[in-house]
Structure 1
Amino acid sequence: MPCINRRDLGLLVLRVGTGAVLAAHGSQKLLGWFGGAGLEGTAKGMEHMGFRPGKQSAVAAGLGEAGGGALLALGLATPAAGAAAAGAMAGAVAVHMPAGFFAQSGGYEYPGFLGFTAAAIGITGAGRYSVDHATGHLFDRPWTVALAFTGSALAAAAVLTRRSVLQAEAEAEAEADAEAARAGA
């Protein structure tokens, strides 16, 4: 009788729990499940948060969470799954950053934790009780870890930089409008 490996069992529990939470959040964004806004509502919310175009941003965030979460739970393509989920959570952290760290004040504690957990699983690997293990790690090679996390980091940096530029432009436009209103009064 084979011995149960505690490390692999722990990775299974961590993967399934983290993946399920991420998949549920992504399903809210994409499909409106679990009380979510669905794609149209999420797109409007993304625009309001400074992510433009809103619909593409909603799809990307939803797929990063739902797809990355489902793949993490299965232990399939674990480096790409962890990187995708971590990248999506980087966007959520940026949104919540102005409110500070703790979740009770609207801070980034929760998305930060999910992002770091997804990244850690992606780097560590899915363990023995996974689809990756069953397929001989076909989609979990050392080079995929580097490629997935580099790609995710570059994509997150590009999205967040664009968001910052758009927010600065919107603030400058609002200031100019306010100045024009004051001058006309």
Structure 2
Amino acid sequence: MTCINRRDLGLLALRTGTGAVLVAHGAQKLFGWFGGGGLAGTAAGMEHMGFLPGRHNAVAAGLGEAGGGAMLALGLGTPVAGAAVAGTMAGAVAVHAPAGFFAQSGGYEYPAFLGFTAAAIGVAGAGRYSLDHATGRRLDRPWMLALAFAGSAAASAVVVSRRNREQAARAKAEAGAVPGAGA
């Protein structure tokens, strides 16, 4: 007789809840579902936020959320899923950071929470009630954890740095276009 493990049930609940939220947000970006802008609207928003090219960044953000969320919910390739979501959320945190911490003020609280939750699941593993467990953890090896998080951190740093340079260049151009500015 197999005993139901509370830790594994908790991980299942956390994975499916977090994954479902992420899939919904990714579907907004990719398909326009749930009141989202779809790829065209998301690409325009990405360009406005300084993520260039907008379409590539919209696809990456949508796949990071929907794909990473689905993988988390299923408990499949959990280290890679957690790292992908954490990296995607790092970009969202960069956008919301100027508004402060709390979400009600437009701050980064919500994407940070999703990113830390996904990262924690990626580090902890999916538990017994997962596809990783069913496949003998073929996609959940210690080296995958290190590689996935290192790759995600590097990619996020490049994307956010490029976005910050674009924002600074935009601000400089706007300041130069204002009569009497900088004089």
TM range (shorter): over 0.9
Give the C-alpha shift of residue 176 in structure 1.
1.5
Q: Which residue of 2 aligns with 1:101?
A: 101
Give the C-alpha shift of residue 6 in structure 1.
0.4
Aligned-partner residue type, residue 87 of structure 1: G
Q: Which residue of 2 aligns with 1:79?
A: 79
After superposing on structure 2, the runs of 4+ consecutive aligned residues of structure 1 that deviate more than 6 Å are: none
Q: Which residue of 1 aligns with 2:19?
A: 19
Identity of aligned residues (%): 73
1:111-152 CA-partner distances (Å, limit 9, x unpaired): 100000000000110000000000000000000000000000
Give the C-alpha shift of residue 41 in structure 1.
0.1
1:162 aligns with 2:159: no
| CA distance, structure 2, for counterparts of residue 166 and residue 45 of structure 1 | 14
Q: Which residue of 2 aligns with 1:112?
A: 112
1:148 aligns with 2:148: yes
* Structure 1 range deviating more: 100-109 or 168-177: 168-177
Q: TM-score w.r.t. structure 1 length?
A: 0.96
Give the SS at the match of 1:127.
Answer: coil
Give the alignment of 1:2-151 within 5 angstroms. Answer: 2-151=2-151
Aligned-partner residue type, residue 15 of structure 1: R
Give the C-alpha shift of residue 28 in structure 1.
0.3
Give the SS at the match of 1:138.
Answer: coil
| CA distance, structure 2, for counterparts of residue 38 and residue 24 of structure 1 | 12
Give the C-alpha shift of residue 182 in structure 1.
3.9
| CA distance, structure 1, for counterparts of residue 86 and residue 166 of structure 2 | 23
Q: How many residues align?
A: 181
5+ residue gaps, structure 1, are: none
| CA distance, structure 1, for counterparts of residue 13 and residue 180 of structure 2 | 60
Give the C-alpha shift of residue 90 in structure 1.
0.5
Aligned-partner residue type, residue 5 of structure 2: N
Aligned-partner residue type, residue 29 of structure 1: K
| CA distance, structure 1, for counterparts of residue 12 and residue 121 of structure 2 | 10
Give the SS at the match of 1:4.
Answer: coil
